[in-house]
């Protein structure tokens, strides 16, 4: 049986934020503690460090809508209770902006590539670590950064197409021993069909597409999909020898 621990905190002060959020600075036994609670329209969301800077998911969505309109991107929004993933798409490529309001996800931007009509793959950016940020000061900086980072990323998309096309020149049979590791680093249900298909003489690209399709269409949340794509990509980068 699950044990429960009920703790009562005091509230030193409250700061109202946009979109119905409130930060409640906590005390315990009348002593200041280094934590605050975040609520949205009266509903509890999380307890985080007092140093945590809230970036509202709604603000990220509004910013992305402005960027989409400005750059003629299609926009698709995947929302959860405390997280949001905003896809900005132009043709077969685009960017996905991730954010959370409970400290579980840093503000982050990734590149995605459409492999087929219904399947995307997501790449964590190489060599642009400043995109992955813990939450920081002002919303004005966030607005400026998102727009500027998107512009920087536009020049990097071709790198990922090069990687995908490079895989199409490699016979998967020649890398079978390396590819077997997929069973150890990802749930087997996502890789078993791809590994069996290797014996039919397919390319490394086709193996990648099969695994990526299994991940993308799986009934799991977007955060988990992103983690699985990162695991898949790290292995494939090593197999191809792409740095």
Consecutive sets of 10 residues in the chain, 243 residues long: mean pLDDT of each? 90 96 97 97 96 92 94 95 95 91 87 88 69 51 71 80 92 95 96 95 96 96 95 95 75
72 and 136: one domain? yes
| Token duo for residue 42 | 């009266």
Which residues lie across from 109 on neighbouring strands? Answer: 97
Question: What pLDDT score does 105 carry?
Answer: 85
Sign (positive/negative) of CA torsion 153, 228, 107, 20? positive
Residue 22 lies in a domain: yes
146 and 210: one domain? no
Of 133, 155, 177, the residue that ends a domain is 155
Residue 214 lies in a domain: yes
Question: What pLDDT score does 132 carry?
Answer: 52
76 and 116: one domain? yes
**CB neighbours of residue 75 within 10 Å:** 15
User: Which residue pairs from 45-48 have beta carbons closer than 8 angstroms and sit at least 24 positions apart in sequence?
Assistant: 45/81, 45/82, 45/101, 45/102, 46/82, 46/101, 46/102, 46/103, 46/104, 48/102, 48/103
DSSP-derived secondary structure letter, 179: H
Question: What pLDDT score does 222 carry?
Answer: 94
Question: What pLDDT score does 91 carry?
Answer: 86
115 and 187: one domain? no
72 and 145: one domain? yes
Distance of alpha carbon 65 from alpha carbon 87, whole angstroms: 10
120 and 141: one domain? yes
Which residue in 106, 107, 203, 116 sits closest to 146, CA to CA?
107
133 and 69: one domain? yes
62 and 151: one domain? yes
Distance of alpha carbon 124 from alpha carbon 136, whole angstroms: 21
Residue 142 lies in a domain: yes
Q: How far apart are the first and last CA of the chain?
A: 48
107 and 177: one domain? no
234 and 146: one domain? no
Q: For the chain, how many structural domains are there in total?
A: 3
Q: Write down the pTM of the prediction.
A: 0.87
Residue 5 lies in a domain: no
Residue 118 lies in a domain: yes
Range of the domain at 43: 10-49
Question: What pLDDT score does 140 carry?
Answer: 47
150 and 181: one domain? no
168 and 144: one domain? no
Of 155, 189, 220, the residue that ends a domain is 155
Residue 4 lies in a domain: no
Distance of alpha carbon 134 from alpha carbon 52, whole angstroms: 8
Question: What pLDDT score does 100 carry?
Answer: 93
């Amino acid at each position: 049986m699950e044990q429960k621990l009920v703790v009562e905190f005091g509230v030193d002060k409250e700061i109202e934020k946009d979109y119905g959020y409130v930060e409640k600075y906590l005390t315990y036994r009348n002593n200041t503690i280094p934590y605050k609670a975040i609520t949205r329209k009266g509903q509890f969301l999380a307890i985080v460090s007092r140093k945590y800077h809230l970036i509202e998911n709604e603000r990220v969505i509004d910013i992305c809508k402005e960027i989409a309109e400005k750059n003629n991107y299609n926009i698709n929004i995947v929302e959860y209770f405390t997280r949001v993933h905003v896809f900005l798409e132009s043709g077969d490529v685009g960017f996905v902006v991730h954010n959370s309001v409970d400290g579980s996800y840093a503000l982050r931007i990734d590149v995605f590539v459409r492999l087929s009509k219904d399947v995307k793959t997501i790449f964590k950016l190489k060599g642009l670590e400043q995109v992955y940020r813990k939450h920081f000061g002002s919303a004005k900086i966030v607005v400026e950064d998102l727009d500027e980072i998107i512009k920087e990323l536009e020049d990097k998309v071709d790198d990922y197409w090069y990687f995908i096309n490079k895989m199409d020149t490699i016979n998967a049979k020649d890398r079978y021993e390396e590819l077997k590791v997929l069973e150890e680093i990802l749930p087997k249900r996502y890789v078993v069909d791809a590994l069996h298909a290797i014996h039919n003489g397919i390319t490394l690209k086709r193996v990648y597409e099969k695994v990526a399709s299994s991940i993308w269409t799986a009934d799991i949340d977007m955060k988990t999909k992103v983690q699985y794509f990162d695991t898949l990509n790290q292995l494939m980068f090593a197999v191809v020898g792409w740095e």
